[in-house]
């Protein structure tokens, strides 16, 4: 049997992990697993996990490792045998090490986008919570303002996109990402993609993945 391909996508809050992931899954057979989307779905459904996680998320803090590791590993188990793309996990070296033990990954793709660009983007982000679809009023506006393109349901702004939470998320990111990148560098699977826009970053991501997987379509346009 051909081994499945497993990747993580790393990057600051608002760097475009969700945006690039949705392009990847349109072009390659990979399942998108977003730790943030999973948590936001728990919050939407008012589960005990969601109510607990919300306390951390609204303040821009990380949810404790023990909670996140359990949530993500059980999601990965459901996808065993498939190619997957993990977005938002790992956030700490401990998460990276445990993930690697349970499911050795093939690629760690890090999106590098300047912080001044990010702050502006996040203020203009609108999301469809049940699906995790992401819009931006400047970049990829919904067809009808305020409504999801697929379901027609209402879009909302994330509770943690308030300016004070965003600053906190960027501060935490700056402190915690270094050891995660170091870990993947040591494993020899770190790949960095820099740019000010997702359109600038996308062609190099596509080319890189093409060296590992056959695309569903050779057409890079999204």
Exposure of 192 by Cβ count < 10 A (0-12 exposed, 13-18 middle, 19+ buried)? middle
Mask of contacts with ligand G5P, 90-129, x by CB under 6 A?
xx---x-------------------------xx--x----
125 is catalytic: yes
Q: State yes or no: 70 annotated in a binding site.
A: no
How many chain residues bind Mg ion (CB under 5 A)? 2
- Annotated ligand binding at 17? The verdict is yes
**Contact call for residue 18 and Mg ion (CB under 5 A):** yes
Question: Hey, CA dihedral for 163, 129, 193, 187, is it positive or negative?
Answer: positive
Q: Residue 142 — left, alpha, or beta (φ > 0 → left; ψ -120 to 50 → alpha)?
A: beta
Terminal CA-CA length for the chain:
31
> At a CB cut-off of 8 Å and minimum separation 6, what does 52 contact?
67
SS3 state of residue 47:
coil
**Contact with ligand G5P (CB under 6 A): which of 5, 6, 35, 109?**
35
Stretch that binds ligand G5P, among 74-82, 96-104, 143-151, 195-203 (CB under 6 A): 195-203
Q: Is residue 54 involved in binding ligand G5P (CB under 6 A)?
A: no
Number of CB atoms found within 10 A of residue 3's CB: 8
Active site residue 133: no
Which of ligand G5P, Mg ion, none binds 115 (CB below 5-8 Å, type-dependent)? Answer: none
- Catalytic annotation present for 169: yes
Any catalytic annotation for residue 26? no
Minimum distance from residue 173 beta carbon to ligand G5P (Å)? 7
Our CB check for ligand G5P shows the closer of 11 and 107 to be 11
Residue 101 tokens read as 């033990």
| Residues 6 or more apart in contact with residue 134 via CB below 8 angstroms | 18, 19, 22, 125, 126, 127, 140
Q: Return binding residues for GTP.
A: 14-19, 125, 134-135, 198
Q: Return binding residues for AMP.
A: 35, 40, 61-63, 88-91, 95, 158, 169
Binding site for Mg ion (CB under 5 A): 17-18
């Amino acid at each position: 049997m051909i081994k499945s391909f497993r990747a993580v996508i790393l990057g600051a809050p608002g760097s475009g992990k969700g945006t690039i992931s949705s392009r990847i899954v349109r072009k390659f057979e990979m399942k998108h697993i977003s730790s943030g989307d999973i948590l936001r779905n728990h919050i939407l459904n008012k589960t005990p996990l969601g109510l607990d996680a919300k306390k951390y998320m609204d303040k821009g803090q990380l949810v404790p490792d023990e909670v996140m590791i359990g949530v993500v590993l059980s999601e990965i188990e459901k996808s065993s045998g498939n190619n997957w793309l993990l977005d938002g996990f790992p956030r700490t070296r401990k998460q990276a090490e445990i993930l690697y033990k349970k499911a050795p990954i093939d690629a760690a793709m890090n999106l590098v986008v300047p912080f001044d660009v990010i702050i502006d983007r996040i203020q203009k982000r609108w999301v469809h919570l049940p699906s995790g679809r992401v819009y931006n009023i400047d970049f990829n506006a919904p067809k009808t303002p305020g409504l999801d393109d697929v379901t027609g349901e209402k879009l909302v702004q994330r509770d943690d996109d308030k300016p004070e939470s965003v600053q906190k998320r960027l501060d935490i990111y700056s402190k915690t990402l270094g050891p995660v990148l170091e870990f993947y560098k040591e494993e020899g699977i770190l790949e960095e993609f820099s740019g000010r826009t997702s359109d600038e970053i996308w062609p190099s991501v596509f080319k890189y993945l093409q060296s590992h997987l056959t695309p569903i379509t050779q057409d890079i346009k999204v």
